[in-house]
Chains A and B, each alone.
Chain A
Amino acid sequence: MQRPHLLYTAWGYPPSRGSGVYRAWATANAFAEAGWRVTVLTVPREFFETTTGIDVTLEAQIHPDIRIVRVPFESPGFVNDLAEWSWLRATSPELWNGLNARRGKRSFPERNYGVWRPLLEEAARRVHKETPVDLAIGTANPNVDFLPGYVLSTEYGVPAVMDHRDAWSVDIYSGRRTLEPRSRAGRWERRLMADAEQVWFVNEPLRDWHAQQHPDLAARFHVVENGYDLDLDLPPARPSSGHGLSFGYIGTISGAIPLKELVDGWELARRRDELVRASKIDLYGYLNHLGVPGQNMVEAMERFEPNDIRYHGPVGRAEISATYARFDALVLTFGSGRFITGGKVYEYASTGLPIVSIHDPVNETTRTLADYPGWHGASTMTADAIADAFIATAAAARDQTEEQRSQARAYARRYSRTAQLSPRISELQELVARRRKEATS
């Protein structure tokens, strides 16, 4: 059989260093490794240089057979050259954002990204005419990424898959509905899902919520969890030295992270426990998605130094193993919400290191890590409970043997990206083969 051709649309694709980029990079690579011809639609490289920032180490790991088609993207919301800013935007960026959002939604109801629709659709048609596409996958957000699949499906009968990843119509933090079903965006979402062959979500709570909203479409909804991509090259567990430990965090430090609670709990744990008092926290990652810290972050960071917490800035993909190798335990923290798993959970688990969870226990992560050896989650988001979790994790890190670490790594293998994607790729390969056979008979 001739190699099937996948058209994969991802606004955030390497070298972007946005948080969802790993899933896009890994999914396109997985299809290419499975023998598919893969074309990726994304935005121009220079765009990421001046907005999200770039990670060239991840870009270097794009499968060499993948063809990248860069579709021009211009959105006023991303203009960060102050010479182009109006007085209103400089004075009240929030108000300007609100007004700009209304203008930007004309072609597609999505703030800042809807403007991409016409160019994206045109690019999809062009690619299909050059080399017929067998399958189209769009990964959101932004949700405009679903449009190439929709266009090829409705105009040419190409099966489309929505990698819905997070959600459009529900706020994954608050759990509140963000789109009314009868709104323009709500109707678009329904139309896209009704047309898609499969819709993927990152966890069960998100899939279930959408199945409740669209019971007639539930059979096409699947969970494709995030996963870790590479087996990290880590040194063996260190024998206990009796000295302090290094708690590590790697990930984007967004405004949703409960930094204040984390510092409060850590401070209390240091007062209560000698081992924690001798220990430190090392934070690695970008501050917010555009590198500008929010007020809550600024306030929490002022308390870092007296509590032996250090922020070291971002770490490139190539330095990940070496960075994890410096840690004795990991700090897992992100915003609250039952729909939240967080992509870094899987990579954390793959290290075999003890993990302390500083997030609302209602998060889906609690289920994901419940049986992971060496996991201690804060039972509530109080300083008291967070301190208890830090103290328990410090003891686990001090006492962990190499055998225990290996057991934890073995447990985490179920979270490899390959384990998540392989069943879906095989299924889609069969679908494409069936469609081709039907077309020729």
Chain B
Amino acid sequence: MRLLVIAPSGAVAAALDSLQIRSDDHVDVVTATSCDAQGSSVAQIELGPSALPSRGRMATALQRSVIGRNILRLTPLDGGRRFAKAARRNRDFQTSTAEADLIVALERDGILTAWKALRASARPGVRGVHGLAPARALLAAGR
């Protein structure tokens, strides 16, 4: 099975362990700058620092309140939007999206990217989920 795991932080090693990835599976991990997972069936797609949440003055100020955080979510400064924008421009990500059987958003800032990838995919039977538990259930069901 081909998995596209979207985790901006790259902290996915424990998650992949709990998914019990097999040697005939292939996992593409999409991160901003680094990834802690290793193994012959795991490949990393690094989108670069532009995919990280904005640390600018405006974003920092908005982060300080609940209303501010909600407003931030609707602006291009939002971490999820920045990650999705960087992913859209990445050719490896586009290729991986087209081939994936299961798209998994592991972190909040990966949701929009996963949602868009799912909608863009023309692969029959492709599924997309948020979180580890549904991914685990779908993997188990698909085997």
Contacts and interface: CB of A to CB of B under 8 A. Distances in A.
Contacts of A53: 132-133, 136
Interface residues of A, number: 32
Centre residue among B69, B112, B132, B136 by max chain A CB count within 10 A:
B132
A298 B107 CA distance: 9
A92 B69 CA distance: 10
Contacts of A292: 106-108, 130-132
Contacts of B17: 313
B131 A290 contact: yes
A290 B130 CA distance: 9
Contacts of A154: none
Contacts of B15: 287, 291
Contacts of B137: 49-50
Contacts of B114: 82
A415 to B, nearest CB: 30
Centre residue among A98, A313, A314 by max chain B CB count within 10 A:
A313
A235 interface: no
Contacts of B127: 81, 83
A94 B115 CA distance: 16
A98 B74 CA distance: 15
Interface in B89-143: 103, 105-108, 111-112, 114-116, 118, 127-134, 136-137
A50 B69 contact: no
Chain B at the A interface: SS class: helix
Nearest to A98: B70
A291 B111 CA distance: 14
A103 B16 CA distance: 36
A95 B73 contact: yes
B81 interface: yes
Interface of B: 9, 11, 14-15, 17-18, 69-70, 73-74, 78, 80-81, 103, 105-108, 111-112, 114-116, 118, 127-134, 136-137
14 contacts: A50-B129, A51-B133, A80-B130, A80-B131, A81-B127, A83-B127, A92-B70, A93-B111, A95-B73, A291-B15, A291-B133, A292-B108, A292-B131, A298-B107
Given A291-B15, A292-B132, 14 more contacts: A49-B137, A52-B133, A53-B132, A82-B105, A90-B111, A90-B115, A92-B78, A94-B69, A98-B70, A292-B131, A298-B107, A302-B9, A312-B14, A313-B14
